[in-house]
Structure 1
Amino acid sequence: MTLANMITIMRFLLVPMVIYALLAGRTDWAFAGFVIAGISDGVDGFVARQFNQRSELGAYLDPMADKLLLVSVFVMLGLMGELPLWLVIAVVSRDALIVCAVILSTVMANPVAMKPLLVSKVNTAAQIVLAGLVLAELALQMQYGPVRVGLIFLTGILTVGSAAAYLVNWLRHMSGNGEGKTRNR
């Protein structure tokens, strides 16, 4: 158990705190937890690289912690009426489809190598910015109306594009017509 992995595990523990804060109407605490999780994501990566603490466990835990937080926040913001449900469904469905594809590939003895696609990295960045912006609006009682609307549509387009890219890669991989390497990130 490395320091980098312990920091990542702390991010897992932040998820219920952020969700509870949203349920309790404490958007300030939810925003603070989200920011702390974001900072800790950078810190654990820095520690892993700088102090040679990269591990196979960390390679799986890090994106899982990120996705658990993002999906949980998206679901809560959707239930609160702060994000459109179509976007929440798209985000959750994309991640569920990727996980199912990886599991199916493994069960069929044709495991998919984990490698993030550029569109997926951009998609994740858009999701983080959108969730952070909405939480900041709620916590700081600010309004970024047109910016929020633009980010919602950009995130929706990137989510669908990322899902399509992973699907194409996965189908190629499963048919033996290409590497089709994916990573849930």
Structure 2
Amino acid sequence: MMNDFRAAPNQLTFLRLCIIPFLVLAVLDGHFRTAFALFVVAGISDGLDGLLARLLHQSTVLGQYLDPVADKLLLSTLFLVLHHQGLISRRVTVLVFARDFGVLIVGAILYASMGMRDFRPSIFGKANTFAQIVALVAVLLATFYATAPVIFVRHWALNATMVFTVLSGFNYAWRVARRMSVPAPAVGG
């Protein structure tokens, strides 16, 4: 297990987790350029950890669980703190949190009760994550560079985030229900 902690991709994921409190403080203190830079660094570390895992053949079980948790924690925390600062509406923040909390709880229950582990993201989940990232980048950028194109992207990315959050949530529920309705293979037979 110690090798999992030392794997380069996991070190980058831990870095992303360590960035979160500094990102929160930067937003709360009104240092939006710093917050923007930290979010970009977090995004680069996210891209690099996956690339390094493949190139260095350092894909680990810890990384498979930690990477998506770090991503969701980063995004959800940033939505919450930007809402607190009045930069993102309550509607968007509640939808993002409700969907992520629901997915986390259902996934934990299915893992604990049935041993289900494979929860690959759907195309809707990937579109949701993409919309969230674009929205957060645009919201942060608009705090110090509020040009018409940035405001336009911010508006549409936040709307896309709401749409894809709802679609991906329903799609996730449908996929889970479908998987649970498949009868278990007979033992012994």
Q: TM-score, normalised by structure 2?
A: 0.88
Structure 2 partner of 1:159: 165
3-state SS in 2 of match to 1:108: helix
Q: Is the contact between residue 136 and residue 142 of structure 1 (CA under 8 Å) also seen in structure 2?
A: no
Asked whether the 8 Å contact 2:142–2:151 carries over to 1, the reply is no
Aligned residue for 1:88?
93
- Structure showing greater relative contact order (alpha-carbon pairs closer than 8 Å, 6 or more residues apart): 1
Which stretches in structure 2 are left out of the alignment for 5+ residues? 1-5, 185-189
Question: Offset of 1:172 from its aligned partner?
Answer: 1.8
Overall identity of the aligned pairs, in % = 34
Query: How far did 1:141 drift?
Result: 4.7
Counterpart of 1:137 in structure 2 is 142
Counterpart for residue 110 of structure 2: 105
The offset of 1:13, in angstroms, is 0.2
Aligned 8 A contact 1:112 1:173 in 2: no
Deviations 1:36-91 (A, max 9, x none): 00011111111111111111111111111111110011111111111111010000
Find the aligned partners of 2:89 and 2:81 in 1 and give their Cα distance: 11
The residue number in structure 1 matching 2:42 is 37
C-alpha distance after superposition, 1:95-127 (max 9, x if no partner): 000011011112322524221111101110110
1:174 alignment counterpart: 180
Distance 2:13 2:51 in 1: 12
Counterpart AA for 2:71:
D
Does the 8 Å contact 1:4/1:58 carry over to 2?
yes
Unaligned runs of 5+ in 1: 179-185
Quick check: 103-112 or 86-95, which moved more? 103-112
Distance 1:2 1:110, change over 3 A: closer
CA–CA distance in structure 2, aligned partners of residues 165 and 103 of structure 1: 18
RMSD value over aligned CA atoms?
1.6
Over 3 Å counting, the alpha-carbon distance change for 1:30 and 1:164 in structure 2 is same
The list of structure 1 runs, each at least 4 consecutive aligned residues, that deviate by more than 6 angstroms after superposition, is none
Query: Does the Cα contact within 8 Å between 2:23 and 2:35 map onto a contact in 1?
Result: yes
